[in-house]
Structure 1
């Protein structure tokens, strides 16, 4: 019998634990479509309070363009194990080392995509070692700390996690309505029971530490721009976590290709998956030849 609290795996994809030198990570892995010319491999990192399922709607269109796509739960996210109390395990450099291990386990250079918090972890991984990556796409992920309004919401969540259980916090989030970053990618993605299961599967220590990262991240664009990688900055037409003008400026500083997805907000991969997938594949095609 199908578990009603489990997310559906996209047709043709496989969900399994990816074994790496730094442990196992839950992934959804979609091969290229049988009739498509094989073009490359992409590794996709979700954002704060998110999971690999945030990319479910872009797997099929990217497979049709010839790309194998692997979306991963980071350490302590949903179905990837992580300590409940050891906050040192979730420092950004540790999470970035995990990404390097995931790329190594895939055994081929990958196009790296990071959504929101995942984009800042992705750039940290590239700064540690860019050699496993063919390109870097920052998907609704800005140059430094999040906006003041979102910072206030994240701080509220961190304070709640200090005194409440994950179940109690979930009920409080539902009552106040999630901001774009805290639970934003979930809109229209799953049932309340599926989202609740994801929330309860996430380590509170991971949320506390990565929440602090979002509120204190330094600007590392100059360092990143020095890397010999093609960059792509993608966002919706509206974003309260990093204003679109901030993302525009970051793209200029990076010398990056820039895509604004009409009709999308902080999660273009969920809000407008088909144009988002076309933008990703078009950029990768340019750097596959």
Structure 2
């Protein structure tokens, strides 16, 4: 599950409903101050049972570096919830959602950043569009591995899938976490509210994708697009050694962040931002 430690929203971040050709997506949108040169735009995609709020700690530092940052709730997630047919959660359908979001943002091509399950969707989107340079300026996979999740996480996901149809979301919540004493009460309450707002079909599809994702490393390596791989550790979802091998096969810049855990965007936001904006700056400035 995506992690959170704070719900503080920067004063200049704008909550908005992003109207696209494929529906309306809840988003946070933060542009640099007018005195800061505009370097580009980043689109950040949250992970399994996550939301746009997962990137709150990064909004201000990314903006200070001159980048507009847009982060979304994907189809069926939190404030982009509602009930959708299961077929709309196919990988390719969700990839088309990301393309529609970029077109609606209207400031492309974007630096695409996917965290965990969001990395899976970001990779599918880039492959589906063959790395279309009018859409994507770069791709960053954050704590996402080459294929399905680790054996330990597969066991947990199968258990979740086994009870989704027989237990109410409220009954499942106590087993999903939220017991970390370092998590403030307001954040724990938010995470419960977010879980209850998720479309059950979204949760099922995401869990199944994480259980069955093939290794598309070779196909992605053939796409001519600057790539980075962020690897926070320790991480039980994808083994960091496997993530590093994937980065090497992709000829991607590997950004290792010890102490970042599965969510370096939360636990090491300043370091994550510094490394990413340096990567983006190198692309923008020859």
Pair 1:46–1:29, CA change in 2 (3 A): same
Distance 2:243 2:35 in 1: 36
Partner of 1:167: 170
Alpha-carbon separation, structure 2, partners of 1:189 and 1:253: 42
| Conserved 8 A contact 2:26-2:80 | yes
The residue number in structure 2 matching 1:288 is 284
Aligned to 1:280, the other structure's residue is in SS state helix
Q: Where do 4+ consecutive residues of structure 1 move more than 3 Å?
A: 186-190
Higher deviation after alignment, 46-55 or 190-199: 190-199
CA, structure 1 residues 160+28, in 2 after alignment: closer, same or farther (shift >3 Å)?
same
State the shift of 1:32 in Å. 1.1
Query: Could you say which residue in structure 2 is the equivalent of 1:139?
Result: 142
Indicate conservation of the 8 Å contact 2:7/2:56, yes or no: no
Q: Which residue of 2 aligns with 1:158?
A: 161
Alignment of 1:31-50 (within 5 A): 31-50=31-50
TM-score where L is the length of structure 2: 0.92
Match of 1:258 among 218, 235, 254: 254
Q: Give me the whole-angstrom Cα distance separating, in 2, the residues matched to 1:110 and 1:128.
A: 16
User: Residue in 2 aligned with 1:9?
Assistant: 9
Q: Quick one: distance in 2 between partners of 1:212 and 1:199?
A: 17
Which residue of 1 is the match for residue 97 of structure 2?
Answer: 98
Deviation track 1:23-78 (CA, whole Å, cap 9, x = no partner) reads 10000011013332210000000000100000000000010100000000000000
Q: SS at the partner of 2:12?
A: coil
Give SS of 1:123's match: helix
Match of 2:115 in 1: 115
Q: Trace 1:20-39 onto structure 2 (pairs within 5 A).
A: 20-39=20-39
Seen in structure 2, the aligned counterparts of structure 1 residues 255 and 190 have a Cα distance that, compared at 3 Å, is: farther
Helix, strand or coil for the counterpart of 2:78? coil
**TM-score (structure 1 length as normaliser):** 0.91
Gaps of 5+ in 2: 1-5
RMSD of aligned Cα (Å): 1.8
Tell me, what secondary structure is at the counterpart of 1:35?
A: coil
Q: 1:83 corresponds to which residue? A: 83
- Distance, in Å, in 1 between the alignment partners of 2:204 and 2:276 is 31
Q: 1:244 to 1:157 in 2, by over 3 A?
A: same
